[in-house]
Amino acid sequence: MKKNVCENYEEACQAAADIFAGQLKQKPDSVLGLATGSTPVGLYKEFVSRSGAGKMDFSQAHAFNLDEYYPIRADHPQSYKTFMDEHLFDHVKFTSTRIPCGEATDPHIECDGYDADLEAAGGLDLLLLGIGHNGHIGFNEPASSYPLGAYMVDLTEETLEANSRFFCDGEKQPVNALTMGIGQIFAAKHIVLLISGAGKAEIVKKLFEGKLHTDIPACFLLLHPNVTLVIDKDAAQGIKS
Ligand code: GLP
């Protein structure tokens, strides 16, 4: 894994944006995998600003989002659909965007459809990933086995707790999610793992301690031939650069 340790979050977002800009220059109709959470917010700001300045062109690109809560209405303020619209898709034009549908009647049929769409697009050229405090990627939670294709997952207590900050008090938070599978993530030609903040230092240390922890989904990335870790100093404090 290539490591790019940046001074701060802003620099990390710039560095990650540079990788996406290079990808689009080389292949304007790239299939891009996109993440949610607080970490990509600065990167998406950068996409919007560079695209507005004519420095990045997403108009031929295809976007596949990693995951979505289930069940959740698409127009719910905390749906990942709403998140993506607010932070990116309302501002930057893509040829197509695909997010697992949180209001599908049958989640399994929706996952099969998502797999078929990703396959028809030719798989991911470049995938953006964040990391959860328990090492989850997308919504692939620690488990004893991992589906290769998209599937419905039970969110762990830790993830529910971490994401509860986004839901109003007393509001029913979805306990399931639909997520891209580990096989689809692993098949991406290039992966950018963007990590920021001291709160992630512990999981980052664990990730790089030289063991393949099968209960840390992000450990699969250690085996992928083309992952670029873009990380700020706060998150990287426990590892060698
Ligand atoms: C969510 C998303 C992940 C994301 C993670 C970390 O659960 N499903 O894709 O990487 O949270 O989020 P944050 O960047 O807010 O720490």
Question: What does the pLDDT look like over 163-207, one tens digit per residue?
Answer: 888 888 778 899 999 999 999 999 999 999 999 999 999 999 999
CA dihedral (185, 180, 100, 70) positive or negative: negative
- pTM over 0.95? The answer is yes
pLDDT tier at 71, thresholds 50, 70, 90: very high
180 Cβ closer than 6 Å to some ligand 1 atom: no
Separation of alpha carbons 30 and 154, rounded Å: 31
The pLDDT, as a whole number, for residue 185 is 98
Which of 69, 131, 160, 166 has the most ligand 1 atoms within 8 A of CB, as the residue to mutate? 131
Is residue 91 annotated as part of the catalytic site, yes or no?
no
The pLDDT, as a whole number, for residue 63 is 98
Tokens of 146: 């991992």
| CATH of the domain spanning 2-236 | 3.40.50.1360
Give 155's DSSP letter.
Answer: P
Separation of alpha carbons 161 and 183, rounded Å: 27
Tell me, in angstroms, the distance from the centre of ligand 1 to residue 185's CA: 15
Q: What is the mean pLDDT of residues 214-238?
A: 97
Q: What is the mean pLDDT of residues 19-30?
A: 98
Taking CA 196 as the corner, what is the angle to CA 22 and CA 76, rounded to the nearest 5 degrees?
90
The pLDDT, as a whole number, for residue 164 is 87
